[in-house]
Amino acid sequence: MLRVTDKLVSLLAPLFTITVLFLTWYAAVTLFKPPSHLIPSPDDVLLRLWSGIVGGDMLPHIGATITASLIGYCIGVAIALSLAILLTEFPVLENSFYPLVLCFQSIPKVSIAPLVFVWVGFGMQSQVALVALICFFPLFTSAFAGLKSVDPNLSNMFRVSNAGRLHTMLHLRIPSAAPQLFVGLEISASFALVGCVVMEFINATQGTGFLIVNSSNTLDTTTSIAAMFALGILGLISSALVRAAGQKIVFWHRPATNIVNLAPRSAL
């Protein structure tokens, strides 16, 4: 009984906070009546979001953002995983490439966006390239650390029973790295949207980032905020999906409840 009420409270409390925030916003707007190109009222924003999604004029933008970040995410994840596996399997590669990767990691990745634009050009390829680049690093670092931290007893047992390299990788290393992998995957998922939006700020003619910039420029703040809400919802959904997948797949690992993962959110 106590646990049920506890759960209910932890569900309702944040909802309450959000409601209070919205009500304050609404009250402030009705009281002070700021011009709507500065601060629109929350009901206008929600209506705009509704009409944008149901009426469909925001859907192509949202779709473009989802497609670009999804493709970029998959590419970044594939490269990061294969590189992490290669580097942990072959110490020679590790010694020569790992410092380089660390070197590149210290570059603030979003600052490369204009360079990516020069190299890849207009259109969705740019977004995909930047997203892949940004997603690569958090996943690579966590996969690398995970693959390295195998229980030495187990690893000895595999060696004693003469297990092959592939067998050890599939049945020992990857499973023991899985919890860390999913931490990396979740961080990458939230980075993917950031990368996509920043690139859309710079070059796009479509996409949620473009919609935000474009409607800010025309002082259509209502649309701009509505598009930001859409992005926020996308971010929530994507990280929830990755976390749910993690809990399904890595069912043996229970992450510490209530404490947010403190994995290094490496610089964007």
Spatial separation of the C-alpha atoms in residues 123 and 80, rounded to whole Å: 24
Structure tokens at 5: 């009420």
End-to-end CA distance of the chain, in Å?
44
Structure tokens at 147: 């693959």
The nearest distance, CB 160 to other proteins, in angstroms, is 31
- Between the CA of residue 169 and those of 143, 147, 158, 250, what are the distances in Å? 13, 9, 10, 16
Q: CB nearer to other proteins: give 103 or 166.
A: 103
From candidates 83, 87, 213, 226, binder to other proteins by CB under 8 A: 213
Q: Does 208 bind other proteins (CB under 8 A)?
A: yes
**Site of tokens 């690569």:** 136
CB 226 within 8 A of CB 105: no
Q: Does 239 bind other proteins (CB under 8 A)?
A: yes
Span from 46-54, 75-83, 166-174, 226-234 in contact with other proteins (CB under 8 A): 226-234
Q: Does 212 bind other proteins (CB under 8 A)?
A: yes
Q: CB nearer to other proteins: give 65 or 176.
A: 65
- Between the CA of residue 101 and those of 80, 93, 181, 198, what are the distances in Å? 11, 11, 18, 23
From candidates 162, 217, 254, 257, binder to other proteins by CB under 8 A: 217
Q: Looking only at residues 31 through 90 of this chain, which bind other proteins when binding is defined by CB under 8 A?
A: 37-38
The nearest distance, CB 42 to other proteins, in angstroms, is 15
CB 212 within 8 A of CB 228: yes
CB 62 within 8 A of CB 208: yes
Q: Does 246 bind other proteins (CB under 8 A)?
A: no
Q: CB nearer to other proteins: give 157 or 240.
A: 240
Q: Does 225 bind other proteins (CB under 8 A)?
A: yes
Structure tokens at 135: 């997603």
Structure tokens at 46: 């929600």
Q: Does 114 bind other proteins (CB under 8 A)?
A: yes
Q: Does 206 bind other proteins (CB under 8 A)?
A: no
Q: Does 110 bind other proteins (CB under 8 A)?
A: yes
From candidates 55, 99, 121, 123, binder to other proteins by CB under 8 A: 99
Query: Count H helices, E strands: the chain?
Result: 11, 0
Q: CB nearer to other proteins: give 172 or 225.
A: 225
Angle at alpha carbon of residue 191, lines to 261 and 150, rounded to 5°: 45
Q: Which residues contact 213 (CB under 8 A, 6 or more apart)?
A: 200, 201
What residues line the site for other proteins (CB under 8 A)? 9-10, 13-14, 16-18, 37-38, 95-97, 99-100, 102-103, 106-108, 110-115, 117-119, 190, 193-194, 197-198, 201-202, 208-209, 212-213, 216-217, 219, 221, 224-225, 227-228, 231-232, 235-236, 238-240, 259-260, 262, 264-268
